[in-house]
Structure 1
Amino acid sequence: MTDVQEAQRATGCPFSEKAQAFDPFGAEYQFDPAEALRWSREQEPVFYASSLGYWVVSRYDDIKAIFRDNIAFSPAIALEKITPVSQEAIDALNGYGYAMNRTLVNEDEPQHTERRRALMSHFEPARLEGHEEMVRRLTREALDRIVDRGEADLVDEMLWEIPLTVALHFLGVPEDDMAKLREFSVAHTVNTWGRPTKEEQVGVAHAVGKFWQYSGQVLEKMRANPDMPGWMPYAIRKQKELPEVVTDSYLHSMMMAIIVAAHETTAHASANMFRRLLENRELWDEVCAAPSLIPNTVEECLRHSGSVVAWRRIATKPVTVGGVDLPEGAKILMVTASANHDPRQFENPDELDIFRDNTTDHLTFGYGSHQCMGKNLARLEMRIFLEEFTRRLPHMELVEQEFTFVPNTSFRGPEHLLVRWDPAKNPERTDPQAREPRLRFEVGAPNASALSRPVVVAEREEIAEGVVRLSLADPKGRDLPRWSAGGHVDLLFGDYERKYSLCGDPARTDRLQIAVLREPESRGGSVWLHDNLQPGTELSFRGPKNHFPLDEHAERYVLIAGGIGITPILAMADRLKHLGKDYELHYAGRTRAKMAFLDRLMADHGERLNVYSGDEGRRMDLTGLAGGYEVGRQVYACGPDRLLDAIGAVCADWPEGALHVEHFTAGASLLDPEHEQPFEAELADSGFTVTVAADQTLLDALRAAGIDVASDCEEGLCGTCEVGVLDGDVDHRDKVLSAAEHRESKRLMACCSRGKGKLRLAL
């Protein structure tokens, strides 16, 4: 129980003053929902908002758990009017025959999954690729209209119109009445998630009623010509095959709901993206210089300032969320904007970090079976918008302005976005090639392997025979990301990409330090680095990442290093010394002359250091070092595979979490298509099954189905593509999980591991 909950119990007050004062229609929440709920994430992650009649949930893990359970947490109220309306407004709606029914957003199981399966094929990545040309054409035409003007309101002049045009084209709806549809969409948002006055409610009701009638008229035109292209004609054809699944009332409701959903959120998200990047000029310039960053930049903007702020659920039985008991019938407001700023999930969450490697974990698109089907179309549009503007108007800047938003609980984007630029500086005036796209975008979530930060070699020092220490700095003198003991970076140099553990001072943000052993018999990267990298050399890296983290809560530690494996172990020893922990350090090498950092280790960790040098005839006794399992003691080891395999054998019967090792080579763990068997993977959270072919990884099959799974090395080394396993026999091929974790089979690495038969996964 938290301190706040203890205090509440002692005083008899069920909720804090801040919880009682919370108002989602107040200025603070409307301006920045994540910041408005910072206190909740830190102190009271589940509370009752009496002004709203909802339980508010603000932390990432709690919200994701709610998304995963559509039975206990029904989506039935997702489109319920959050503000009760007057009888006059109800009468106005009824006058239009308004009969909005269930849609994919607010439908319970099993009907929801049945309809989603029947209608989702148009949203698969392979089908969406055909829309890129149209999105590109519309964006270029809009830019052509304003490029020589020097100023524009991006919302009014393109960011609303293009997503709406794309949405209508995707749906198969005629592209007329654009202004009318924008009016209808705003009315629908206010009607469902806003707090209009009683007088405003009637006007909103008339607009929504007209929207309902308009949707019905378009639907009838489609019925007369069901062979037209588009998702709605496809749904009409599906109705003939599955009349009990795709019903008349469902089609009419979906026609209205998806016209809004398919474009309004993309328009808001795009406006939020341009605003945030132009407010952070260094990031804008970074993207202008390196367009390969665009997919991850879009994703990070969706996390940091997404257009979908919150979703709603209702408890179908007594439930516990975040340690708080909720009664049956409890209405829940899941503030996904707050979850996306939860430091338990995202490091430095309030920073807009376009190099963030887990940004696809965001909940802006929801999660599980109710995740937004149109997410990849939205990504495609936003990527093209950003690529065209950074190429043709890299000098564009934000005009000082006061941003306004349509007041509501759940969707957010500025109503206007004023920008300006000097037309005389337009690149295309001197270089016609500036009008031409620089790259195509694959449909789907971004791949972390496309990310890299520029650095320069600040210092180079020979610290042992065949070992160099490199200090890396930002070329512009900016701070580099923070890291922790056990962390590493993926260094990109020449034609190589290699992983190197960090071994400097984590408190220094101006330098990252690595040590590299020259290995002539390896794949060539270390030799190239030794021969070519000098102070001033420019290269890049990804990370830092930490798949070998130090648990700082044990009683005793045994640190074991072999050769260049000393680099992460050194950082751990430094950290344990700083914490005042009980530790011993064992370091083996062929000769003392080849053992990196030996002088520093003796100076800083002398009493705890044990050196085993081959030329002195000293060898590690792993059985003696590790001994039997001891409660409260943890062993960390890094070095050659033969060392790690030997340690694993000695500690084979230890419980999970007592032994930690790190590998930097994949060995023979990768896919061999000639000797594989296909298998099926049931996705429990998403409600359908994918087939993984013999020549396909599970990761590839998931991407083809539109499931977002982050990845990086795709060699079974980094742990980025980890997926939870609910049932099934796994053929583990990674070097991330321990032997005990392989036996338990609660997780797998989607890039390399496979199923021995059908698997059931937590996706």
Structure 2
Amino acid sequence: MSPQGTCPFTSPRSLFGDLATARATDGLPYAEPFGARVVSRYDEIVQALHDPDTFSSSATVPEMPSPFREMFAGRVPSRGTLLGLDDPDHDRLRAAVNTFFMPRRLARYEPWIREQAHRLIDGFVEQGSTDLKASFGLPLPLRVIAHVVGLDADRAEWIGAALGFFLGPADPHPGTPEEKAQRLLDLHDHVLEVMAERKEDRRDDLISHVWDVRDSGAVEMTDFEMLSLFPGLMLAGHETTSNLICTGLSHLLADPARYAAAQRDDTSRAAALEELFRYESAITGMKRLVTRDTQLGGVRLQAGEEVFLAYASGSRDPSRFSSPDALDLDRSWAVPHLGFSQGVHACLGAPLARLLLRIELDVLHERLPDLRLAVPYEELQYLPVSAGRGMVALPLSWTPLPVPERQPTGTVAAPAPAAALPVTVAARRTLTADVVELTLTADGPGALPDWEPGAHIDLELPDGALRQYSLCGRPGTGELRIAVLREETGRGGSAAVHDQVRAGDRLRIRGPRNHFRLRPAASLVLVAGGIGITPLLPMIEEAEHRGTDWQLVFLGRDRQRMPYVDELVARHPDRVQVWPSRELGRFDLNGLWSGLPAEDGYVYACGPEQLLTGLEDSARAAGREAQLVLERFAARPTSAEPNRPFEVALARSGTVVTVGEDETVLDAVNRAGAAVLSTCREGTCGTCEVRVLDGVPEHRDSVLGLEERLAGETIMTCVSRCRGQRLVLDL
């Protein structure tokens, strides 16, 4: 509780006592420092976080005051961070960056981050003491986030000074408000310059990634909206991480045995960090605007009121965490902490923060022997109570050491994006009234990559957009063939091919890639719906070569609009069944299974979603799901059917758990001790991703790209489920 005679929530040292008092108080008490009613209990915070329609995030980012609002107009986005946006804009824009921040993708930055940490420590290791916040805690995260975004890390100090405008009176950088505003304008102009460069010269950074997503047609946004993503992300990405390393180390070093336990290895460091995020996060909480009359925690709230969701309080709620005010490095993760929030606004950079902090702990432990607090823990000063939580400084001491001669590791380059291959349209052929075939060649013998039946390429269109098309020629011929259906309701890619691409044109491709490979089998049934015939054509050739027994069922509305149909019937009259529905009616998909052996046989299918969904239903009814292989070029719509129970086997332990219809895979496996991390619990952050060893996941996340969804090799355990009866996970 606050010291006698002081108002609640004004003393940073008493914050958690004040929050405990609020949890024990009926209703939602008003707190002057937050300017809102405080929501302090875990379940009520989570309820609000997962109901963004009622609890709007617009209150998180205040409107820019005059005269800066007028000064920034048209140059600095007024809602320059995802935190302050609601749907539909929030989900649309976040979709452009979600996939970049998945943990397994960020791992490529570890050598570079580690080298930057060593370089900073080289600057003070011989002194034997430092304010770690100033010398390490602030500069390293800023360098990292600048580099990841795509800016020059050596300009990090200038970037930090420009971002300091957003900190208001807490900004430590010198200058008048007008001078600070000009620095921010200069930063936005610089980001626009880098955006223009990356549009033509893609690299391994976030700005290039967003251009790739925009070019693919997956997300529509303006250049100004794209600009809005980066400065706010850089501000949040270095301020919070700086505070986390300082508060976390202060608690670990207050007890040398605890520090030693946390620093045993990478596993112990990761576990310790999760408990530190729970115990004292860098975010006290955030505001929400109530958009409609509602109830929360038994309190009636009116539209227009604001509430403060106190994440720090929820993470110490005794109804959810045993001994919540104790630091327990062996604590179970079955109940997720709120250190990075939850829901659609869960911290986008949480995976990067986890990676960076683990590296920081490791390098500090390696380089600074006998590391200790330079003053008693009780004398450490906290910043004033606010939405953020941090320390003024962290003075540390250690046994001084000379700077060692090290072989730099920062020169290790992150893997570059796959290079586009120039090709020439050697021929163009009209197959039907709405399908054209392109034959593509590359300069020089052997210039085209090898491929197998089922593969597809990304075709870069004249406007830079990317579209995926199956290869329908023969491997090893020195050319690639694709067939393109004109889709009037599509995103414009097929229309561009039909209207603009001609023989002799120069284009670029990426790939090939293949998640539709032909498996060895004694018997095959190939099912094509319209243009879905394209990936099956090379499979027919391969089946003939292998001597495999095969049949093709070719479905379409009109025979005249079914590409390659006459050629197929002429070459394989006894193996091809043509079914134009306008003449013959609906085809009975259930009948496919009666002619397929129960073992050593597969149904391969490609076509419109209605066909593929029907095949999945018929395979499920026949108990033949394991024998169905599908090719999709669009994500399967989220199932509208009720959840069904299914089994999940944990391959490493041999444990089998049942996932009930009202629980998630994440909760079920963590109940069995799997210790899978999570943050958002809505499939937007990628933290809970687990490798799938067997079974077909039903993807309900917004993180995996189309290729990854179709491959089915991983699953976001917080939202996704199983299409069959059993999943085997690498746990």
Q: TM-score range by the shorter chain?
A: 0.5 to 0.7
Moved more, 243-252 or 255-264: 243-252
Cα distance change, pair 718–417 in 1 and its aligned pair in 2 (3 A)? closer
1:169 and 2:147 correspond = yes
Residues 195 and 139 of structure 1: is their aligned pair in 2 closer, same or farther, counting only changes over 3 Å? Answer: closer
Q: How far apart, in 2, do the equivalents of 1:400 and 1:32 lie?
A: 20
Give the alignment's Cα RMSD to 1 decimal. 4.8
Q: Which residue does 1:130 correspond to in 2?
A: 108
Cα 1:246/1:94, change in 2 over 3 Å: closer
Equivalent position of 2:522 in the other structure:
none
Distance 1:345 1:300 in 2: 14
Alignment check: 8 A CA contact 1:285 1:394 kept: no
Find the aligned partners of 2:167 and 2:110 in 1 and give their Cα distance: 28
How much has 1:721 moved relative to structure 2? Answer: 7.1
Assess, with a 3 A threshold, how the Cα gap between structure 1 residues 58 and 250 changes in structure 2: closer, same or farther. Answer: same
Q: CA deviation at 1:342?
A: 1.0
User: Is structure 2 residue 37 aligned with structure 1 residue 55?
Assistant: yes
Residue 124 (structure 2) aligns with: 146
2:202 to 228, 231, 236: 228
Matches within 5 A, 1:379-398: 379-398=354-373
Q: Is the 8 A contact 2:278 2:338 kept in 1?
A: yes
Residue matched to 2:338: 363
Aligned residue identity for 1:69? D
Q: Secondary structure at the match of 1:146?
A: coil
Q: 2:89 aligned with 1:116, yes or no?
A: no
> Equivalents in 1 of 2:669, 2:370: separation in Å?
35
| 1:19-168 map, 5 Å | 24=9, 26=10, 28=11, 30-31=12-13, 33-44=15-26, 46-49=28-31, 52-80=34-62, 87=66, 93-94=71-72, 98-101=76-79, 103-168=81-146
Q: Distance in 1 between matches of 2:305 and 2:720?
A: 42
After superposition, where does 1:601-620 map in structure 2 within 5 Å? none
Confirm or deny that 1:412 pairs with 2:386.
Answer: no
The 2-side partners of 1:38 and 1:69 are apart by 24
The CA distance in 2 between the partners of 1:722 and 1:419, in whole Å, is: 31
TM-score (normalizing by structure 1): 0.52
State percent identity of aligned pairs. Answer: 23
Q: Which amino acid in 2 is paired with 1:74?
A: S
Q: Tell me which amino acid in the other structure corresponds to 1:265.
A: T
Task: Return closer, same or farther for 1:158/1:21 CA change in 2, 3 Å cut-off.
Answer: closer
Which runs of structure 2 are paired with 1:520-669 in the superposition (5 Å)? none
In structure 1, runs of 5+ residues without a counterpart are 1-16, 437-672, 685-691, 701-707, 727-732, 734-747
Cα drift, residue 300 of structure 1? 0.9
Alpha-carbon separation, structure 2, partners of 1:287 and 1:189: 33
- Which of 164, 176, 189 is equivalent to 1:216? 189
Q: Distance in 2 between matches of 1:52 and 1:725?
A: 27
Which position in structure 2 is the counterpart of 1:207?
A: 180
Give the aligned partner of residue 297 of structure 1: 272
Change in CA separation of 1:718 and 1:381 when aligned onto 2, cut-off 3 Å? closer
Q: Measure, in 1, the Cα distance between the counterparts of 2:218 and 2:673.
A: 47
Deviation at 1:354, TM superposition (A): 0.9
Q: Is the 8 A contact 1:313 1:332 kept in 2?
A: yes
Match runs of 1:496-535 below 5 Å: none
CA distance 1:217–1:338, change in 2 (3 Å): same
Where in structure 2 are there 5+ consecutive unaligned residues?
410-624, 640-646, 657-663, 684-693, 695-715
Amino acid of the structure 1 residue aligned with 2:290:
A
Separation in 1, partners of 2:163, 2:33: 26
1:308 alignment counterpart: 283
Q: Which amino acid aligns with 1:416?
A: A
Q: Report the count of equivalent residues.
A: 454
Residue matched to 1:470 = none
Q: Deviations over 1:703-725 (max 9, x none)?
A: xxxxx9867977x8459779999
Q: Which amino acid aligns with 1:266?
A: T
C-alpha contact (below 8 Å) 1:46/1:324 kept by paired residues: yes
1:123-182 alpha-carbon deviations (Å, 9 max, x no partner):
122211101111111122223333332112211112211111110111001224332332
Given the alignment, which residue of 232, 250, 254 partners 1:275? 250
Aligned to 1:152, the other structure's residue is in SS state strand
Deviations, residues 668-701 of structure 1 (Å, cap 9, x unaligned): xxxxx979999999999xxxxxxx999999x99x
Q: Which residue of 2 aligns with 1:582?
A: none
Q: Distance in 2 between matches of 1:138 and 1:709?
A: 38
Deviations 1:636-677 (A, max 9, x none): xxxxxxxxxxxxxxxxxxxxxxxxxxxxxxxxxxxxx97999
The Cα shift of 1:115 comes to 2.1
SS of 1:312's equivalent? strand
Deviations 1:503-539 (Å, cap 9, x if unpaired)? xxxxxxxxxxxxxxxxxxxxxxxxxxxxxxxxxxxxx
Partners of 2:287 and 2:80 in 1: CA distance: 15
- Is the 1:222–1:228 contact (alpha carbons within 8 Å) kept by the matching residues of 2? no
Structure with more relative contact order (C-alpha pairs < 8 Å, separation 6 or more): 2
Give the secondary structure class of the aligned counterpart of 1:43.
coil
Report Cα offsets for 1:563-600 as digits up to 9, x if no partner. xxxxxxxxxxxxxxxxxxxxxxxxxxxxxxxxxxxxxx
Whether contact under 8 Å (2:96, 2:214) holds in the other structure is no
CA distance in 2 between partners of 1:291 and 1:240 (Å)? 38
* Match of residue 249, structure 1, among 224, 227, 236: 224
Contact 1:315 1:331 in 2 (8 A): yes
In the TM superposition, 1:411-490 aligns within 5 A as 411-423=388-400
Contact 1:309 1:337 in 2 (8 A): yes
**Per the alignment, in what secondary structure is the counterpart of residue 292 of structure 2?**
coil
Distance 1:423 1:368, change over 3 A: same
1 CA distance for matches of 2:207 and 2:346?
20
CA deviation after TM superposition for structure 1 residue 63, in Å? 0.8
Q: Report how far residue 334 of structure 1 moved.
A: 0.8
- TM-score under structure 2 length normalisation: 0.54
State the 1:90 CA deviation.
Answer: 5.6
Distance 1:752-1:216 versus aligned 2 partners, 3 A rule: closer
Q: Which amino acid aligns with 1:58?
A: S
Deviations 1:56-77 (A, max 9, x none): 1111111111110111111112
